[in-house]
Chains A and B, each alone.
Chain A
Amino acid sequence: MDLSYTAEQEAFRAEVRSFLANNLPKRLSEKVRLGKRLTKSEMEEWHALLNAQGWLAPNWPAAYGGAEWDAVQRQIFEEEACLAYAPRVVPFGLMMLAPVLLAFGSEEQKRHYLPRILSGEDWWCQGYSEPGAGSDLASLKTRAVREGDHYVVNGQKTWTTLGQHANWIFCLVRTGTEGKPQEGISFLLIDMATPGVTVRPITLIDGEAEVNEVFFDNVRVPVANLVGEENKGWTYAKYLLTHERTNIAGVGFSNAALATLKQVAASTMSGGKPLAQNPHFAARMAQVEIDLMAMRTTNLRVVSAAAKGQAPGAESSMLKIKGTQIRQELTSLLRRATGPDAMPFLPDYLEGGDNQTLDLPEHAPAAAPSYFNMRKLSIFGGSNEIQRGIITKAILEL
C-alpha cells in the first residue's frame, strides 16, 4: 500500500503541467472555464496542438502514432488538463473507434483511418442509439443489406454527439435477423458525404444543439468498410465497454468543478456573509467534497489495477454511477450558488460573446445550462440503471 506517485509519475505530471502552461491558448481555456461552447475549429486547434506533442492518442500503440501511456499516466493527464481548463479531447475517433479498429480492423483499415484521425482530416461520430433503441441497444433496426460489393443502409440514428461536425460515422447496423438480437449486428464505417445521409440537429434542454439525428436513405457503403466479421459487431461494441473506460469516473472534471464551486461560494455574498459559510450550503458542498476524496481513491484503485494489465470489468460500472452522481451534484450546487443570476438565458454569450449589458458574474450564464446538460451523464453510455444491472450480473451474480 502506497498512496504516493512514483518519481517517474511525478515527473510526468510536471511535464504535462509545463506543456499545458506553455501551449494551451488562454483563448480556449477561458472559454472552457466559463462553460462557453467551443467552435469546431477551436476543438481542432487543440487536437492539433496535442498531436504535435505526440499526446493526442494516449492509448494507441506507438507504431500508429500513439503515446502508449498506461492508465495512471492517462489519469494524471486528465487531472492536469481539467485543472488547466483544457478543452476535452473529442473522443469518438480517438477513444471509441480507434481501439475497435486496432483490435478487430484489417491492417488496411488501420493504416488508412488511424492517421487521418490524428491529422484531423476525419472527424468521426458515433451511430449507435436509435429512436427505438436506447438502453436496449441490441434492438436497433437500421438495416444494411448486401448488394454485390456494397451494403445498402436504411434507417435512423439519434443522439449523435457533434455529428454536425463529422464527415464519418461508425455505425452498428442490422445485417441478420436470425438468433438473438445481438447476433445480427455489424460494425460499419460510413462516409457522411454519401448520397442519402441527412443530419438534423436536436436542440436540447440547455438550448444547445450538441446532438443530432442521422438519417440513412438507401446509402451505399462499400463492403470494405465493414470492420471485422459480419454479424460480430455487438462483440466489438462491447469490447469498448470494458477496455477503454478508465476515465469514466470523470475525476478530473469533478476536481475542476469543485475548485470553481468553492471559489464561487467564497466570493458570493448571501445574507451578509460568504455563501461558503451558510451552514446548509457548506454541508452539501463538504459532503460532495468528501465523496470526491473517496472517489479519487476508488478510481485510482481501479486505474492502478488496469495499469498492471487487469482490464476493469464491472468496476467501470461502479465508477460510472458514483462519478456521475458527484458530477451532477457539483453542477447542481453551482447552479444554486449562482442564485437569481442563473436565470438569464444568454446563448450568444455561451457561443463566445460577452454579458456586459446584464452585469452578471462571469460564471453565471453557463450555470443553469451546464446543470441541464449534465443530466445526460446518468443517461448516456448505458444509463445508471443499466450499470446497476451489469453490477447485478457480473459482481453480485444474482
Chain B
Amino acid sequence: MDFTPTEDRAMLKDMLRRVLTENTDHEKRRALLASGAPFDAALWAQLAELGILGALFPEDQGGFGGAGFDIALVFEELGRAGGIEPVLSSAILGGGLVAQLGRADQQALVAEVIAGETRLAFAHAEPGTRYDLADVSLALGPDMTLSGTKTHVLGGAEAQMLVVSVRESGAAGDTDGLSLILVPTDAPGLTVTRHVTVDGFSAATVTFDSVAVDEEARLGTAGTAYDVIEEVFARATLAVSAEALGAMESAKEMTITYLKERQQFGRAIGKFQALQHRMADVLIEVEQARSAVVNLAGHLDAPRALRERHVSATKNLIGRVGALVAEEAVQLHGGIGMTDEYALSHFVRRIVMIDHLFGDVDHHLERFIQLGLEAA
C-alpha cells in the first residue's frame, strides 16, 4: 500500500500545475468566454505538446499512461485551475471509444487526438434520456442513414469527428443492439448547434437529417458497444470526479484565505467559531472526496462488478461533498461569493454542474443499491 505518486506522475503533476497556473486565470477565462471562444486554443496546443493528452492513454494505444491514477492527476489539476479545454470530450470520451474499439486504420485518429490535431466528441444522449446509458433510440437501419437528435454533446461544435451511438436492433433501454459510428461533423445532413453550459464549457445539439454512413465507419462489431460505453463512462466519471476534487481544493483554499482576510465586527471572520466549525467540516469532507477518487482510480481496471460499485460510490460521494463545499464556500464568503467577477463563481458552478454529468447523487445511490442487490 502506497499513497504517494510515482516519480513520473509527480513530475507530470508539477509540470501541468505550472503550465495551468501560468496560462489560466479567472480574468482570462471570462474574456475568452465573452469573446465567444470555446476554449484557449494556445493552451490546448500546449497541453497536447506537453503530452497531457498522451498521459490519458496506455502505451498500446499510443500514449504513456492511461491508468486510473493518470486520469485522476490530470483532471484534478484541470479542476484546480478551472480549465475549460475539451480534454474530457476529445480524449477520454471520443478518443477512449476509438482506442477501445477501432480497427487498425481507425486507430490513426487516436494518434491525432493525442497530438491535439483532431478533436473528437461523443454524441450519445438524446432528448429526455437522462442518465440511462442504454436509452438510445437513434436508429441505424439497412438503408445506412441516420435521422434524429443527439443532445448535450460535449465539445461537439469544436470536433472534426463525432462518435455517435446508434441502435441497430432492440428497443430503447436494451443493452444489446448498440453500435458506435464515426461521423464527420461536416457530413451532409448533419447540423451542429452550439451552446455554452452554465459552467462555461462548450456543448452542442446535433441533428441528423438522413445522414448517410457506411459500414466502414462502425467501431467494432455491430450491436455490441454497450460494455465499452459503460467502461468509457467509468473513466469519464473518474475524470470529472477528480476534476471536481481539484475545483473543491481551489474553492476551499480561497475560502480559508477569505476567512483570514475579511474583517467584520473588528476582527477576521475566521475567528468566529460558527464559521470555523463549518470550515472544519468542509476540510474533512474534501479528504473523503479525495479518498473516493483514489478508490475509483485504483479500481478502474477491476472486474466490471467491482469497478461499477466504485463508480457509483465515488460519484455519489463526490456529488454530496461537492454540493456541500460549493454551498459552504459561497455562504462563508457572503455576497462576494455570489459575484461572477470573483473566481470562486467558476469553481462553484463547475463543482455543481459536474453532478449533472454521468449520473447525479440520486442516480448513483440507487445504482449502488441495485448493484449490491445483484451481487448478493
* A contact set with B: CB distance below 8 Å: 1-6, 9, 72, 266, 276-277, 282-283, 286-287, 289-291, 293-298, 300-301, 304-305, 318, 321-322, 385, 387-389, 391-392, 395-398
Contact = CB atoms under 8 A, between A and B. Distances in A.
A286 B316 CA distance: 10
B365 A305 contact: no
Given A283-B369, A286-B368, A398-B271, A3 B1 contact: yes
B101 interface: no
Given A389-B276, A398-B256, A301 B291 contact: yes
B52 interface: no
B287 A298 contact: yes
Nearest to B255: A396
Interface in B264-312: 268, 270-271, 273, 276-277, 279-281, 283-284, 287-292, 294-295, 297-299, 310
B279 A266 contact: no
Contacts of B299: 3
Given A266-B376, A304-B3, A297 B291 contact: yes
Contact of A297 (B277, B283, B294): B294
Given A300-B1, A301-B291, A290 B317 contact: yes
Chain B interface SS verdict (over half)? helix
A5 B292 contact: no
B276 A398 contact: yes
A290 B316 CA distance: 8
B288 A398 contact: no
A283 B291 contact: no
A294 B6 CA distance: 22
A72 B3 CA distance: 13
Contacts of B260: 397-398
A286 B1 CA distance: 26
16 contacts: A2-B1, A283-B369, A286-B368, A289-B313, A289-B372, A294-B289, A294-B295, A294-B317, A295-B291, A300-B1, A301-B294, A318-B283, A389-B273, A392-B276, A395-B283, A398-B256
Contacts of A72: 1
B336 to A, nearest CB: 18
B279 A318 contact: no
Task: Bin the interface of chain B by size.
Answer: 35 or more
A1 B276 contact: no
B69 interface: yes
Given A318-B284, A396-B280, A398-B276, A293 B1 contact: no
Given A1-B5, A293-B313, 10 more contacts: A1-B2, A287-B365, A291-B288, A291-B317, A294-B313, A298-B287, A298-B291, A305-B3, A388-B276, A398-B260
Interface string B1-43: 1111110010000000000000000000000000000000000
B276 A318 contact: no
A297 B292 CA distance: 8
A219 B316 CA distance: 58
Main DSSP-derived SS at the A contact region: helix
B11 to A, nearest CB: 14
A53 B287 CA distance: 37
Interface string B183-218: 000000000000000000000000000000000000
Given A300-B3, A391-B283, A398-B259, A1 B298 contact: yes
A276 B373 contact: yes
A300 B4 CA distance: 12
A74 to B, nearest CB: 13
Given A277-B373, A290-B317, A389-B276, A298 B283 contact: no
Nearest to A299: B291
A290 B1 contact: no
A283 B365 contact: yes
Given A297-B294, A396-B256, A398-B270, A282 B369 contact: yes
Contact of A322 (B2, B288, B376): B288
